[in-house]
């Protein structure tokens, strides 16, 4: 499988602040990636660096095997839809669609107009007069219709209601199935996108703490609840990523796969075991108590 993005030892500092800290990873072709983490974790900075909109303080970035800065061969294959996307004040929606056809070699005009109709966007309205939700919708239209080999969406749903978000996810999956490419979704609505993600990357305080296939993460953690003394006995020597006492009870979340032996031991101790969602897992992992990359018990 072709490597689309290769990052090695990447660091970005703003004065005394490390926005990205010694990050290394590879992104492969024709996969849907989730770039997840809290606000301010460094996700947007990382996408700016990949698309040469900012300079790294140190480290190396290659996109499609080349350095992206002032490299039209690379940048013409990338589409980055930002949360705070800016457009010329005098542009109407149809102007933006026309300009996009020049920027993106794989631009699909017919598909763009299909999406415009699906999202109910007024083609002749000036972009500066659009609502927050309409601005998000037009970004989605450009991102999907670009059919760029590397397409990145940074919080693409702001201002969209649940129906419009569902429409976006449906169109993304359908078009990805017809025209595979590498898609990166940066979002905090993790539960809504978790089933479509094929690979998960989590940034916390500028560090990459998770870089795993989504299938490996699913089912990689569970929560055990019961009398505090029994839970303490159960979790000895295990990778505990969260613990919450309440009264005489204790809830502990473990980063490990649940085995038959674990189930038998929990039953013997009178403990309740439940799985946790990908969103819950990432919330636990980014609570500030972890440093560096997370290791999963097998």
Kindly report the number of other CB atoms within 10 A of residue 164's CB atom: 19
pLDDT of res. 19: 94
How long is the chain? 298
pLDDT of res. 218: 82
Best CA proximity match to 96, nearest among 104, 105, 87: 87
Burial class (CB within 10 angstroms; exposed 0-12, middle 13-18, buried 19+) of 226: buried
Per residue, the 3-state secondary structure of 38-89, as one string, reads CCCCCHHHHHHHHCCCCCCCEEEEEECCECCCCCHHHHCCEEEECCCCCCCC
pLDDT of res. 294: 42
The answer to whether residue 289 scores a pLDDT higher than 60 is: no
The answer to whether residue 227 scores a pLDDT higher than 70 is: yes
1: confidence class by pLDDT, cuts 50, 70, 90: confident
> Is this prediction's pTM over 0.95?
no
pLDDT of res. 62: 96
Per residue, the 3-state secondary structure of the chain, as one string, reads CCEEEEEEEEEEEECCEEEEEEEEEEEECCCEEEEECCCCCCHHHHHHHHCCCCCCCEEEEEECCECCCCCHHHHCCEEEECCCCCCCCCCEHHHHHHHHHHHCCCCCHHHHHHHHHHCCCCCCCEHHHCCHHHHHHHHHHHHHHHCCCEEEEECCCCCCCHHHHHHHHHHHHHHHHHCCCEEEEECCCHHHHCCCCCEEEEEECCEEEEEEEHHHHCCCCEEEEEEHHHHHHHHCCCCEEEEEEECCEEEEEECECCCHHHHHHHHHHCCEEEECCHHHHHHHHCCCCCCCCCCCEC
Higher-confidence position of 278 and 293: 278
Q: What is the mean pLDDT of the chain?
A: 91
pLDDT of res. 174: 97
Higher-confidence position of 217 and 111: 111
Two tokens at 41? 């974790």
Q: CB–CB of 175/111 below 8 Å?
A: yes
User: Among all chains, which residue has been given the structure tokens 């990145």?
Assistant: 152
For the residues 260-273, what does the mean pLDDT come to?
A: 94
Best CA proximity match to 150, nearest among 25, 72, 51: 51
For the residues 131-154, what does the mean pLDDT come to?
A: 95
- CA-CA distance, 70 to 141, in Å (whole number)? 26
How far, rounded to the nearest angstrom, does the alpha carbon of residue 56 sit from its chain's CA centroid? 21
- CA-CA distance, 170 to 189, in Å (whole number)? 15
- CA-CA distance, 144 to 178, in Å (whole number)? 12
Best CA proximity match to 87, nearest among 48, 125, 45, 35: 125
Q: What percent of the chain has pLDDT over 70?
A: 96
pLDDT of res. 40: 84
pLDDT of res. 296: 42
- Tens digits of per-residue pLDDT, 113-127? 999 999 999 999 999
């Amino acid at each position: 499988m072709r490597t689309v993005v290769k990052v090695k030892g990447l660091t970005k500092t703003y004065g005394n602040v490390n926005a990205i800290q010694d990050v290394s990873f590879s992104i492969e072709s024709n996969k849907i990636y989730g770039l997840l983490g809290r606000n301010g974790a460094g996700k947007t900075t990382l996408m700016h660096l990949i698309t040469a909109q900012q300079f790294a303080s140190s480290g190396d970035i290659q996109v499609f095997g080349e350095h992206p800065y002032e490299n039209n061969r690379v940048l013409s294959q990338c589409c980055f839809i930002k949360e705070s996307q800016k457009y010329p004040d005098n542009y109407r929606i149809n102007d933006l669609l026309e300009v996009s056809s020049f920027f993106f070699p794989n631009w699909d005009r017919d598909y763009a107009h299909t999406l415009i109709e699906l999202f109910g966007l007024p083609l002749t309205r000036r972009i500066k007069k659009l609502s927050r939700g309409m601005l998000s919708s037009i970004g989605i239209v450009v991102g999907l219709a670009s059919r760029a080999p590397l397409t990145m969406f940074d919080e693409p749903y702001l201002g969209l209601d649940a129906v419009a978000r569902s429409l976006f996810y449906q169109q993304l999956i359908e078009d990805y199935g017809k025209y595979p490419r590498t898609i990166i979704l940066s979002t905090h609505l993790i539960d809504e996108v978790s089933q479509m993600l094929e690979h998960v990357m989590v940034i916390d305080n500028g560090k990459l703490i998770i870089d795993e296939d989504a299938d490996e993460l699913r089912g990689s953690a569970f929560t055990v609840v019961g009398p505090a003394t029994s839970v303490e006995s159960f979790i000895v020597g295990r990778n505990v990523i969260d613990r919450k006492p309440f009264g005489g009870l204790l809830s502990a979340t473990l980063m490990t796969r649940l085995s038959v032996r674990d189930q038998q031991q929990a039953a013997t101790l009178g403990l309740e075991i439940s799985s946790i969602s990908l969103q819950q897992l990432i919330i636990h992992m980014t609570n500030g108590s972890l440093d560096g990359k997370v290791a999963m018990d097998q």
